[in-house]
Amino acid sequence: MTTSSFDPGIRYEQQGHTATVTLARPEVLNAQTPAMWAELGNISRKLSGDVRVVIVRGEGRAFSAGLDLSVARAEGDSSLADLARLSADECAERIAGFQAAFNWLREPSLVTIAAVQGHAIGAGFQLALNCDMRVLADDARFCMGEVSLGLVPDLGGTKRLTELVGPSRALEICLTGRRLDAQEADRIGLATAVVPRGDLDAAVTDLAAAVLAADRGAVSEIKALIAGAGSRTYAEQDRAEREAQTRRIADLFASE
């Protein structure tokens, strides 16, 4: 097993084909900083090619309480005040760098699973949304809290949220900033599964094992088909399925 930890509050472990990324600032409920996002981006670039499943989790009582406001409101690089002093293009470019810490979790070559306990607020909610699946402890709470700061969700959360719950419900969740408990999250399609808090790690391990038991090429093709289905017509999706199946048959029988 390979284990690495970093000062920004991220711990990375790899065991076989499974990597685990842990937000490791439990004393502040894993509140996130730009330094943590930079390290998440670094992990994506250094990820071993034999990794097939990535588990994202938070240490302690919560998955993540969102943006660390003590950093966001302080003077310094990537504080809100610093971003406000940039030109529009420079600000957008800086935010694109933050987004890169999250969007690699959607890569077709990986299956990503968020193990969520306690609060997942703002950036924490969006981190979970960028994962393919979300296994929730029964004490999990989601909240898109950016609106309370006069901000918008900007880490890839709005599209995935809309895909999962529809535009009307997504708008309501983002505009009110209200909290959704695990049972509601399950009911409206945000949860892959809800389990007792003590069973969370075992449930995620079992799900990862089920994914690893499947053919890697088939998993990647299926993930890409599902990811693109919402933007395609039936005819376009039929074609995508034909093309994917043709590649799979060629790969499976290449040796013969």
Pairing mode, strands 2-6 and 10-15: antiparallel
Q: What is the pLDDT of residue 73?
A: 76
The domains of the chain, with CATH numbers, are 2-212 (3.90.226.10), 216-252 (no CATH)
Determine the Cα–Cα distance for residues 126 and 157; give it in Å rounded to an integer. Answer: 5
For residue 50, CA distances in Å to 29, 47, 53, 102 come to 31, 8, 9, 20
List, for the chain, all residue ranges whose pLDDT scores fall below the cut of 70. Answer: 1-7, 75-78, 255-256
Please tell me the distance from the alpha carbon of residue 247 to that of residue 17, in angstroms, as a whole number: 23
Angstrom distances, CA of residue 246 to CA of 54, 99, 220, 225, 235: 28, 34, 14, 13, 17
Q: What is the pLDDT of residue 32?
A: 95
Residue with tokens 């075992």: 202
Structure tokens at 15: 């065991």
Encoding tokens for residue 138?
């029964």
Q: Is the pTM of this model over 0.95?
A: no
Residues 6+ apart with CB under 8 A from 201: 115
Task: Measure the CA–CA gap between 213 and 218, rounded to whole angstroms.
Answer: 11
Per-residue model confidence (pLDDT) at position 71:
78
pLDDT of residue 69: 87
- For residue 54, the cross-strand partners are 19, 112
Task: Quote the tokens at residue 255.
Answer: 């040796």
**How many CB atoms neighbour CB 6 within 10 A?**
16
